[in-house]
Structure 1
Amino acid sequence: MIPLVVCDDSNMARKQLIRALPAEWQVTITQATNGQEALAALRQGLGQVMLLDLTMPVLDGYETLAAMRAEGLACKVVVVSGDVQDEAVRRVKELGALAFIKKPADPEILRSTLLELGLFDPKAAPTTPATPAQSSVLDDLKVNFRDALREVTNVAMGRAAALLAKVLGVFVQLPVPQVNIFEVSELHMTLTDAMRGERMSAVCQGFIGDGIAGEALLLFHDSEVADMAKLLGWQPKDDNETSEMLLDMSSIITGACLAGIAEQIDVRFSQGHPQLLGQHASIERLIHLNQRRWRKTLAIEVSYSLEAHSIHFDLLLLFTEDSIKRLTHKLNYLMG
């Protein structure tokens, strides 16, 4: 039996990954929800092989690989992540990872990767598949709505980041997305607290498909717009040209993120034209202008930041209350 560590903060991601393992691979599985737990497992000799996520709280995948190297912990690592930026792949391999697989892991790609690396030999495996142990682990993994939606968003935002990285020529740092159900007053308080009186420009884009509807709200910090224009090679002469730039950026980020979600839950979103809700306005004003549309909403928050630049993008995906039932059905189907 090969001791295997599966490290990911999402129950859904770990469940998908354990399901994707070759059925006849003889492994004992230890789960970790962050890099700190993974390192503890390795120190106890529980990991000869590790499947490692990158975007995690406490200790992320990059930090985990660096800590393994610093401590001299011997373990063969395959990174399985939604962060598919070319630079992310380069960095993890430089830190010692043997391979990179994009989420959600395709069973055939995972199998062929394990074969190529010599971590799995079907000829050496006994004729009886090792499914009972894996089935036991899978039965114990309970996935709730919030965790499932967070993981679907995690994969989608990784694809959006990869596109953004190519457009801007920078490395995009990804957070763990937040999923909450807000009354408009709570949404107001959360955003106001987060922005602390900063002036914002906001682009809104509606979307609808298969009983799921909502609006994507992308917030730009006014203090960072000039730096963003410089990165893009733009020299906006006035507010109109600045608006055009913000609308273009919004189309890239929002479009890629929505496309990533739609592909995973098997829907097709129709998207409205992006609209500038406010320029140089306070977040309080933006909320006041739109509170009727956002009465009670399922909100996904993603905050992108650009490495070595003081530039942040705050993306909010606001789903209508009526969409939650359909989303739940889609996510349940995805989990099978």
Structure 2
Amino acid sequence: MTIPVLICDDSALARKQMARTLPKEWDVEVTYATNGAEGIEAIKAGKGEIVFLDLNMPVMDGYEVLRTVQQHDLPAMIIVVSGDIQIQAHQRVKALGALDFIQKPVSAGAITNILEEYGILTLALKEQPASNDNPMLKVDLRDACQEVANVAMGRAADLLSKLLDVFVLLPIPNVNVLEVSELTMALKATESESKISALCQGFIGAGIAGEALLLFHDSSFADMAKLMNMSNPENPNTEIEVMMDTGNVLIGAFLNGISAQLDMHFSQSHPVVLGRHCTVNDLIHDNSGRWNRTLAMEINYQIEGHNVECDLLLLFTEDSMPTLEFKLGYLME
């Protein structure tokens, strides 16, 4: 009997990867949803007996989907597929009724093993591969970069959460090709009147180069210093130490996450403090000569239960675009 399977993810690349990894002999009819609200409607319509669910989505995220399914006792077995690999994320989705958790990027082996473990892999008599002609599976460079950023973001958050014993709240990565004049607009999570301090670190690989900016909200320094067990959080030198240590974790882990997906290595320069206790407008204005047209990945990290917030912004040079497109080409096909 054909099983209705739902793939619920806001990323076209993630939907395509998920569809590709389903066992070819599995007798299923696949439906796609781009956010949790669409996913709930599909489940109610009987299109999601088995659901592969992302966590970070617009409109309604994966946690809200799990709560809704649990509260209304909807007929769906849900397997979470996410780049957020924090231990607490695993624990929370299992407590909300998820069958299991798979780390992005997914592999066919991991999917098959879980389906077999729970006895829900029923085979058809002939191969029925998921069709890649579906318009929901069309992937462009921006979408591919956003999913790559999503996976890298999760790895950086996992490292930070382990070091500080906290839960890091993750957003949907914001990816755009920008002119320098648009950089300020891209920093949606940073209010123009907020005071920030900024750290910059260059990176370079084979055909790809850029700079990583860590924009640390000044109001976050005291809480972050306490989480790091620093003895004198009011000392100006402590602020620089907090920013350097946070940048080392987030920038390093994020770049490692990207390099693993692109199968390449990045070398990093020594971090430099770009500005202290300034506005985003001041920071961009004072450093506008550093950047031209760029591909920007922006992630706003927040720590649950603490007044800690920072923006990580990766700015790839315009010359990096052809290599990025080439490296990601096999994912977009």
Map 1:73-222; keep pairs closer than 5 Å.
73-121=74-122, 125-131=123-129, 134-137=130-133, 141-191=137-187, 194-222=190-218
Spell out, residue by residue over 1:177-224, the C-alpha distance to the aligned partner (whole angstroms, 9 max, x if none).
Answer: 011122111213444993222211111010000111100000111111
TM-score by length of 2: 0.95
Q: Partner of 1:315 in structure 2?
A: 312
Q: Partner of 1:269 in structure 2?
A: 266
Aligned-partner residue type, residue 272 of structure 1 = S
Q: Indicate the larger mover: 196-205 or 90-99.
A: 196-205
Aligned with residue 223 of structure 2, among 206, 227, 231? 227
Aligned-partner residue type, residue 331 of structure 2 = L
Q: Partner of 1:36 in structure 2?
A: 37
Change (3 A) 1:82 1:274: same
Structure-1 separation of matches of 2:246 and 2:272: 12
Structure-1 separation of matches of 2:194 and 2:43: 44
Aligned with residue 297 of structure 2, among 300, 305, 314? 300
Structure-2 separation of matches of 1:140 and 1:317: 28
Query: Unaligned regions of 5+ residues in structure 2, if any?
Result: none
Spell out, residue by residue over 1:131-171, the C-alpha distance to the aligned partner (whole angstroms, 9 max, x if none).
Answer: 2xx12555762101110000000000001011111112111
Change (3 A) 1:216 1:43: same
Q: CA RMSD in A?
A: 1.6
Change (3 A) 1:330 1:192: closer
Map 1:43-54; keep pairs closer than 5 Å.
43-54=44-55
Structure-2 separation of matches of 1:193 and 1:93: 30
Spell out, residue by residue over 1:94-148, the C-alpha distance to the aligned partner (whole angstroms, 9 max, x if none).
Answer: 0000110000111101101100011104xxx2331112xx125557621011100
Aligned-partner residue type, residue 67 of structure 2 = A
Is the 1:18–1:138 Cα contact (8 Å) retained in structure 2?
no
Is the 1:24–1:128 Cα contact (8 Å) retained in structure 2?
yes
Q: Partner of 2:253 in structure 1?
A: 256
Aligned with residue 277 of structure 2, among 277, 280, 284? 280
Change (3 A) 1:129 1:203: same
Structure-1 separation of matches of 2:229 and 2:143: 39
Structure-2 separation of matches of 1:148 and 1:49: 25
How much does 1:46 deviate? 1.2
Is the 1:192–1:283 Cα contact (8 Å) retained in structure 2?
no
Change (3 A) 1:232 1:66: same
- Which secondary structure state, in structure 1, belongs to the residue aligned with residue 264 of structure 2? coil
- Which secondary structure state, in structure 1, belongs to the residue aligned with residue 190 of structure 2? helix
Aligned-partner residue type, residue 97 of structure 1 = A
Change (3 A) 1:170 1:68: same
Structure-2 separation of matches of 1:190 and 1:138: 31
Structure-2 separation of matches of 1:32 and 1:190: 27
How much does 1:74 deviate? 1.5
How much does 1:276 deviate? 1.3
Aligned-partner residue type, residue 58 of structure 1 = V
- Which secondary structure state, in structure 1, belongs to the residue aligned with residue 289 of structure 2? coil
TM-score by length of 1: 0.95
Structure-2 separation of matches of 1:167 and 1:193: 24
Change (3 A) 1:39 1:189: closer
Is the 1:265–1:334 Cα contact (8 Å) retained in structure 2?
no
Query: Unaligned regions of 5+ residues in structure 1, if any?
Result: none
Aligned-partner residue type, residue 22 of structure 1 = P
Aligned with residue 329 of structure 1, among 326, 329, 333? 326
Structure-2 separation of matches of 1:198 and 1:240: 21
Change (3 A) 1:66 1:191: closer
How much does 1:56 deviate? 0.4
Identity %: 51
Structure-2 separation of matches of 1:334 and 1:145: 10
Structure-2 separation of matches of 1:137 and 1:3: 18
Aligned length: 331
Is the 2:32–2:136 Cα contact (8 Å) retained in structure 1?
no
